[in-house]
Amino acid sequence: MRILITNDDGITAQGLWILARELKKVAHVTVVAPDREQSAIGTAVTLRKPLRVQKVTPLVPDIEAYSVEGTPGDSAILALNKLVEGRVDIVVSGINHGLNLGDDVLISGTVSGALQGYLRGFPAIAVSLAEAESHYQENAARLAALLARKIDAKVLPANIFLNVNLPSLPLEKIKGIKSTRLAHKTHINAVAEGHDGKQEYYFLVRQQLKNDPDRKTDIWAVEHDYISITPLYINLTNKPAPITDEFCAGLFQELQASS
């Protein structure tokens, strides 16, 4: 099995290399990621200027790694069309420092990196964790490895695109895994004003919505200490989930056993 890893937090992000270290146990891994933090860049790709790529020394031994002067989407496209020699079986994006739930998937650089793989016919997984620099990133990495193995073994379909979000909790405090759908809203966007002494300026403020009452959504699951796995599609909200409650229960048992 060969896995491409990308992210939106940049080539030096801790979560990227925790993920790479774990996936290396089950696959041949190549890392291609932005050279700097690119959060909330969405599906942006670079069309009107050159993309510069640098081969870098990996933070995990024996992994080929490249930094891209561009977006997560750029990184995945370059990797799949130019940088990775031979076939790729799965594209994994993350581990993101912060959740990607509900409408946020439309602006998420993490989801976009996985999306570019999915658009090119590869199974894809986006993985996010509730808090930046959390001590529980290993939970997310082990879960990504388990899902990759399920895809490789054809337990999950090859045309799958999963958005995975974990609460920042020790595994013994996580209640289980839920197959979810996207919540309709995640944040309220507001505009704040300021003045630097020379001129007025504006900046966007995003305030997280809480207490989603719909027990089937990704927000409800994470707020109630479950791991959320949301199958995504080009039409992101209307397809039925191919992941059953029985699958989630078995997957959580495997995750507990792997800790």
Position 259 scores a pLDDT of 82
pLDDT at 241 over 80: no
pLDDT at 79 over 90: yes
Encode pLDDT of 166-222 as tens digits.
999 999 999 999 999 999 877 667 788 888 788 888 877 776 666 667 889 999 999
Average of per-residue pLDDT values in the chain: 91
Place of tokens 């920042």: 168
Instruction: Sketch out the chain's domains with CATH numbers.
Output: 2-182+212-258 (3.40.1210.10)
Extended strands (E) in the chain: 2-6, 28-34, 53-56, 64-68, 90-97, 124-129, 161-166, 176-179, 187-195, 200-208, 226-231
| Dist. CA 126–CA 169, nearest whole Å | 19
Q: What is the mean pLDDT of residues 8-23?
A: 96
| Confidence band, pLDDT 50/70/90 cuts, at residue 251 | very high
Q: Is 143 helix (H, G, I), strand (E, B) or coil?
A: helix
Position 208 scores a pLDDT of 67
